[in-house]
């Protein structure tokens, strides 16, 4: 795994002898004092992609270094569990989501969420065009391809809200062929991923964001151990602030006066399968759907969270048996590091 570390260049002043001066032993001037960089590590929830772009922008544009940080960005993947790395003390922070933070509380584990980049979960349901997929009610009676994790998270929510049936489900194995072969099939996907590949196959799909069904899970969160936060709060605050500034720059991009080429180069270095077209598509989808700049983020800044939304989401998940109703929500999150107006619309 490639690690990107930033060091500050050193320059020593040389003691010079003037012409004709006596030959004396002259001590060199002391080296210029270098700022100390605090080291922190953060692991993402999947291979590098546009949906992680703000963190890579903060790295590539020197925002972390300017904040006095040496940040190690580690990539996730199919064989990497960010939560396990966090729990095992292998990283300082991990990318997750709101449901993961609530599950920390359920398991009585002292870890929590300190910021949410995505105001809207990027999970979508995808259908062929002109097949009547005009709203979530249109899911009734249709075959739906859903993965194992979704079956125990957002699927129970949709079942209860829209009167769906378990026998509609078929497994989603991240193979698009069943969807492409049957125009009546609906499948799950990620806004910046499957829709891109489906378009390459010649189909411009209809899509619905799960967020629009009322599934208010925070996405691309920064999760951390309570002990780490207590011991390094000032350092973590600098990481959060620089990360939010990175997201502001990345989403504005060249049109907003920010060069994101170096950040995208880092993404591709960490994930060679990530091409320029897919990065551009993912970035466009985030902007068009208001994934980052919507809701509370419009006024409180990128990463915003609030008590009321956490309460609503917990109540919705408890209502369908995904979470217990008796849960100390205050242990799941800390609002003090966000809501500072960074990158607000």
Under 8 Å CB-to-CB from 307, ≥6 apart: which residues? 329, 335
Per residue in 321-336, pLDDT tens?
A: 999 999 999 999 999 9
CB 123 within 8 A of CB 209: yes
CA distance 250 to 271: 18
Per residue in 135-193, pLDDT tens?
A: 999 999 999 999 999 999 999 999 999 999 999 999 999 999 999 999 999 999 999 99
Three-state DSSP string of 82-105? HHHHHHCCCCCEEEECHHHHHHHH
Buried b or exposed e, range 58-81, using 16+ CB within 10 angstroms: bbbbebbbebebbbbbbbbeeebe
Per residue in 63-113, pLDDT tens?
A: 999 999 999 999 999 889 999 999 999 999 999 999 999 999 999 999 999
The pLDDT assigned to 220 comes to 98
Q: Furthest-apart CA pair in the chain: how many Å?
A: 97
Phi, psi dihedrals of residue 217, rounded to the nearest 5°? -70, 130
Is 24's pLDDT higher than 50? no
The pLDDT assigned to 33 comes to 61
Cα 199 to chain centroid distance, Å, stands at: 24
Q: Three-class SS of residue 188?
A: strand
The pLDDT assigned to 275 comes to 96
Is 37's pLDDT higher than 80? yes
CA distance 252 to 263: 13
Task: Give the number of residues written for the chain.
Answer: 345
Predicted TM-score (pTM) of this structure: 0.89
């Amino acid at each position: 795994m490639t690690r990107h570390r930033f060091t500050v260049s050193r320059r020593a002043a040389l003691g010079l002898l003037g012409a004709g001066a006596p030959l004396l032993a002259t001590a060199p001037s002391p080296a210029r004092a270098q700022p100390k960089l605090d080291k922190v590590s953060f692991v993402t929830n999947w291979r590098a992609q546009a949906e992680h772009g703000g963190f890579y922008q903060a790295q590539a544009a020197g925002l972390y270094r300017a904040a006095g940080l040496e940040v190690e960005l580690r990539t996730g993947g199919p064989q990497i569990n960010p939560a396990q790395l966090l729990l095992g003390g292998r990283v300082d922070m991990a990318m997750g989501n709101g449901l993961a933070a609530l599950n920390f509380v359920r398991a009585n584990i002292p870890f929590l969420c300190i910021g949410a980049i995505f105001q809207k979960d990027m999970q979508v349901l995808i259908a062929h065009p002109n097949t009547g997929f005009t709203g979530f009610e249109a899911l009734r009676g249709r075959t739906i391809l859903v993965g194992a994790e979704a079956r125990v998270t957002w699927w129970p929510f949709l079942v209860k809200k829209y009167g769906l049936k378990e026998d509609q489900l078929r497994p989603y194995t991240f193979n698009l062929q069943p969807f492409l072969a049957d125009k009546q099939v609906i499948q799950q996907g990620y806004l910046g991923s499957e829709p891109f590949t489906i378009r390459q196959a010649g189909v411009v799909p209809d899509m619905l964001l799960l967020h629009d069904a009322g599934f208010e899970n925070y996405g691309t969160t920064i999760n951390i151990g309570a002990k780490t936060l207590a011991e390094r709060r000032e350092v973590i605050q600098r990481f959060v602030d620089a990360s939010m500034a990175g997201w502001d720059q990345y989403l504005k991009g060249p049109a907003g006066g920010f060069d994101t080429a170096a950040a995208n180069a880092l993404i591709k270095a960490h994930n060679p399968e990530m091409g320029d077209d897919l990065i551009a598509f993912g970035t466009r989808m985030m902007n068009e759907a208001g994934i980052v700049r919507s809701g509370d983020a419009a006024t409180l800044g990128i990463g915003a969270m609030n008590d009321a939304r956490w309460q609503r989401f917990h109540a919705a998940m408890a209502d369908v048996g995904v979470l217990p109703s008796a849960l100390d929500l205050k242990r799941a999150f800390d609002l003090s590091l966000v809501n500072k107006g960074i990158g607000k619309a």
